[in-house]
Structure 1
Amino acid sequence: MTHLMIRGAARVRSFLERPGAGRSERGATAVEYALMLGLVAIVIIASVTILGRNLSTLFRAAAVSL
């Protein structure tokens, strides 16, 4: 039993000591998604602001003409 544990620990150690072991693309992917989400939010806010001003002007003109 002890021999199996020592062999298992040796395998884990050799795996972790390999170059690039334990590194994951998850962190980079999460950052990329966060940046995309931020850019989409900026575009939505800008669009709503511009469109809101234009719609406000349009409805105000329609109300005045009535």
Structure 2
Amino acid sequence: MSQVATYFFTLFALAGERLDDRKDRGATAVEYGLMVGLIAVAIIGIVFALGGQLGEMFSTVTSGLENPGAAEEGTT
């Protein structure tokens, strides 16, 4: 009788541990989702705040690639 009780106790303990792990996984997934969302919002805000400066920088790089001699003359 004690072997049967030990078997069921062990089975119950293992099942309880697996269910507890699933609870943590769900919470962790939600937390990661919130972090990714906040990072995306921060990146979008920075791009909008610096959009004009970034546009000018990319225009300068593009014109330098199209006409490399002019870019070197402009820096000296």
TM-score by length of 1: 0.63
Distance 2:41 2:31 in 1: 15
Cα displacement string for residues 14-35 of structure 1 (whole angstroms, at most 9, x for unaligned residues)? 322x4x5412311110111111
Correspondence 1:12-51 to 2 at 5 A: 14=1, 15-16=3-4, 18=5, 21-23=7-9, 24=11, 25-51=13-39
Runs of 4 or more, structure 1, over 6 Å off, are: none
Aligned length: 51
Matched with 2:41 is 53
SS, match of residue 8 in structure 2: coil
5+ residue gaps, structure 1, are 1-13
Alpha-carbon distance, 1:62 to partner: 1.7
Structure 1 range deviating more: 25-34 or 56-65: 56-65
Find the counterpart in structure 2 of residue 62 from structure 1: 50
* TM-score, normalised by the number of residues in structure 2: 0.56
Q: RMSD of aligned C-alpha atoms?
A: 1.7
5+ residue gaps, structure 2, are 57-76
Deviation for aligned residue 1:41? 0.5
CA distance in 2, matches of 1:48, 1:21: 44
Q: CA deviation at 1:51?
A: 1.4
